[in-house]
Structure 1
């Protein structure tokens, strides 16, 4: 069954007579299979041709995207200091109408172009709420300040996050294809998609493209879906490049290793000199010019006896006095700083102490309008304790006092 959104998309993409015909003829052609009906039905005047991408190609593209996003998740964790999980890629063909009907609006489009190693474009789509949570965490918040709409400040922050995430993904791709991969700075845009022309964003969005959906979790704050869009030609080229890189990285050598060189005369397969059969019977070795030792000849291979013509070092080694090494016992608690001892060693290290009166977030446009006399409203109420930070870490709260002609802070609470 078609949802109301899909029906509206059909009606807006074609004239009323064409829409009525399509809806009337669909049940007769489907043969009772509703899922096949939806897959073959034109959406907004364009049909998705599933033959453009085989199942094996979808699996390969999904695996490449999964490896890349694994690196991106690690990078995002370092930015938001929250556990990040990006898994379960689902690869399918889609078009613009399909994206509109199956994703929350408005959302943020981040376009990334490959400049070195690969030639193509991909687009990441994030929900507006997810962007607000991620950018709030990046700015030092707790991820709950999601009121309002995405502005220039949030777009700039999410662009920087995606720049680092996709940079890590590019590094993973360069490892897979054995050549350098680089990207251009991402461009983030907030779109409602209904009234936007896809050709203004990217040309490949006007036709059929590859859509990869990821499950994205950021701590307990985000449990959502991240979408990545590829042109079909670029997705296939990326898959072929990765496969070629894997097969060219020593693949043939592993399948057909070079034969090992034949052992030199008088040496066995392990490179050790072979014993003459006469030595096994306790007979002397006149051809070696080596005097008899007072030990069985069977022990000679273990001493690493050299081949013919090499200097004989065995007698000197036999006469060496070998004793076990003696080490000092460090179990007496001599470790510096153990249990807090010797902390005086670092007491002279200077630390930067900062007293923060309050904070606020302003768009770039407002900041550019700052002038002498501008009043900036902070998030602290008058008389509320101020924050004391040591090297940027929040350690205490206090109240502002005046000492003669200088301001000071009286510590009222130590934050554990």
Structure 2
């Protein structure tokens, strides 16, 4: 009997062995020297610009102030992530279909996804104790589609080429499960982790992560700089490295202000030309004089514009509903309008209110009898 019972030491060894098997050879990974300081700073700046634009989009969707802090760039592995984050999270897989080849993953807390979904559904009370549903995953996929779409637009300006993404896919998953399902996590190669702190006023204050394959991240930097980084490091000193980092940081500002700089330069050149002139002649402007004339009116026929079509619209009534209410509609649903029975309907010509009327039936067709014309004085 005793031989069939495992000791605590044997159990610990089995658990340890399973962990090592899952982490493979990458769980004790050291990131020193995997990427250069230039690559680290460049990736951080790219992430800062793209996520800044994404934060603006999220703020518009939620109608709340959203702040995303300056990113922190690290190099890790799927094995280390499995050990560091054992609990489930929501992974949003974003694949590029134009401009770049590859994909990256955004990691979001499950409760944050529930909060974002409840806000978009117009719920007055946020419930994070409920189970995560397909509705939550669908909502966060659409949110990320909007956010990363605007981010791709910003990257298009930085890299001077069109960049576009496929519709993102969301999963509730752990890192251990993700190593079998998500391309970015299937490898034991190093992964670039870009961490941001996301704050949504009074609701969310947590960390989101962007996981980028090492080759993909280095490729972006080389694309931006125009020269493979390993060759640059061999031929420049530290001062030149710092200069390149400053050029990357100022690239966004240069694009936004290039027109203003050109205008200022033109004005400076103009001032320099004027400075060389010895004499400047100043005189009052001369204007042509017109004799007074009687007002002339033309009573031409309106036939010239008589054939121009005008769209007449009759408004039966209005109703304002929340998205959550509209989603519950189906065949047979009755929508209550703001008009009372027998109350005059409003008639518009090309969107301008011109008259009031009442509904009539003419040979089985609806019609409107005009009861009151709105004149130009509003009576």
TM-score (norm 1): 0.54
1:331 aligned partner: none
Deviations for 1:253-289, whole angstroms, at most 9, x for unmatched residues? 9xxx9xx9xxxxxxx96168956xxxxxxxxxxxxxx
Bigger shift: residues 53-62 or 178-187: 53-62
Distance change (3 Å), C-alpha of 1:353 and 1:359:
closer
- 1:301 and 2:307 aligned: no
- 1:118 and 2:100 aligned: yes
Distance change (3 Å), C-alpha of 1:274 and 1:90:
closer
Alignment partners' CA distance in 1, 2:175 and 2:275: 75
Alignment partners' CA distance in 2, 1:68 and 1:118: 15
- 1:180 and 2:162 aligned: yes
The partner residue of 2:273 within 270, 275, 287 is 270
How far residue 360 of structure 1 moved from its aligned partner, in angstroms, is 10
Alignment partners' CA distance in 1, 2:315 and 2:327: 33
**Ranges in structure 1 where 5+ consecutive residues have no aligned partner:** 1-6, 16-41, 261-267, 276-299, 304-316, 323-347, 377-386, 391-416
1:53 aligned partner: 35
How far residue 64 of structure 1 moved from its aligned partner, in angstroms, is 0.9
The partner residue of 2:223 within 234, 241, 261 is 241
Name which one, 1 or 2, has greater alpha-carbon Rg. 1
Secondary structure in structure 1 of the residue aligned to 2:70: strand
How far residue 10 of structure 1 moved from its aligned partner, in angstroms, is 4.6
Which one has more relative contact order, counting CA pairs under 8 Å at least 6 apart?
2
2:20 aligned partner: 14
RMSD of aligned residue pairs (Cα, Å) = 4.3
Distance change (3 Å), C-alpha of 1:233 and 1:355:
closer
- 1:201 and 2:167 aligned: no
2:174 aligned partner: 192
How far residue 148 of structure 1 moved from its aligned partner, in angstroms, is 2.3
Alignment partners' CA distance in 2, 1:318 and 1:361: 70
1:64 aligned partner: 46
Alignment partners' CA distance in 2, 1:318 and 1:117: 59
- 5 Å-filtered alignment, 1:350-365, equals 352-354=318-320, 359=325
Contact 2:184 2:212 in 1 (8 A): no
2:365 aligned partner: none
TM-score (norm 2): 0.59
How far residue 320 of structure 1 moved from its aligned partner, in angstroms, is 2.3
**Number of residue equivalences:** 264
Contact 1:13 1:45 in 2 (8 A): no
